[in-house]
């Protein structure tokens, strides 16, 4: 759906659909070059990364394989606590694999730093991260995001996979959610 389909629910459109497409093309060219002679396994983090994964994977002009993980971070309300539980694990053995984690957004970075440590313990050959969005707070934790799309303000955003109460994931662009929706 388009922003006009949820008129009033957004205060601002941050990133348009065509900007996302152009950015994913740019990232894809780098990923193709970096993994030219390697089999890369894309690991998507459910559910937010579904759109990024679908578009990135189709944009890539190299063979890839895909797997999915679902995690939940314990914490109060909207704050990530860093204590993470695996809801759905990978089907793939990571031993000797080149892993590229695909994420929608890095907020505190706690989820991703936990995930990096967890996947690293499974003996992969390499692990890198591709994330479409990054909030400033993320810079405070030590995560090396090799491929990232856009730095965004510290506001709650929805669309392109990102939800509020499971809604707005199918919005084609990324926008700032109006406070009246969640207050």
State the residues that interact with ligand IMP by CB under 6 A.
Answer: 48, 73, 80, 103-112, 156-158, 162
Q: Is 137 left (phi over 0), alpha (psi -120 to 50) or beta?
A: alpha
CB of 163 to ligand IMP, least distance (A): 6
CB closer to ligand IMP, 24 vs 158: 158
CB of 110 to ligand IMP, least distance (A): 4
Reading the block at residue 157, the tokens are 């955003």
Rg (CA), the chain: 16
CB of 109 to ligand IMP, least distance (A): 5
Centre a 10 Å sphere on the Cβ of residue 29 and count the other Cβ atoms it contains. Answer: 12
Q: Which residues contact 148 (CB under 8 A, 6 or more apart)?
A: 106, 129, 130, 131, 132, 133, 134
Catalytically annotated residue among 55, 89, 107, 151: 107
CB closer to Mg ion, 10 vs 132: 132
Residue 162 contact among Mg ion, ligand IMP, none, beta carbon within 5 to 8 Å by kind: ligand IMP
Does the active-site annotation cover 89?
A: no
Subset of 22-81 contacting Mg ion (CB under 5 A): 45, 48
Q: Is 97 exposed, middle or buried (0-12, 13-18, 19+ CB in 10 A)?
A: buried
CB closer to ligand IMP, 70 vs 123: 70
Q: Hey, which residues are catalytic here? A: 107
């Amino acid at each position: 759906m388009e922003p006009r389909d949820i008129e009033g629910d957004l205060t601002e459109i941050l990133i348009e659909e065509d900007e996302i497409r152009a950015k994913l093309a740019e990232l894809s060219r780098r990923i193709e070059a970096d993994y030219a002679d390697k089999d890369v396994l894309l690991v998507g983090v459910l559910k937010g990364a579904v759109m990024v994964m679908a578009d990135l994977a189709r944009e890539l002009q190299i063979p890839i394989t895909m797997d999915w993980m679902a995690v939940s971070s314990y914490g109060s309300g909207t704050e990530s606590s860093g204590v993470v539980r695996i809801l759905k694990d990978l089907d793939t053995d990571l031993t000797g694999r080149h892993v590229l984690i695909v994420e929608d957004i890095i907020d505190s970075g706690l989820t991703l730093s936990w995930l990096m440590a967890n996947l690293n313990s499974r003996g992969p050959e390499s692990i890198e991260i591709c994330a479409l969005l990054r909030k400033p707070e993320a810079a405070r934790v030590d995560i090396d995001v090799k491929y990232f799309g856009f730095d965004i303000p510290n506001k709650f955003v929805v669309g392109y996979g990102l939800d509020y109460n499971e809604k707005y994931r199918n919005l084609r662009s990324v926008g700032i959610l109006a406070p009246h929706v969640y207050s």
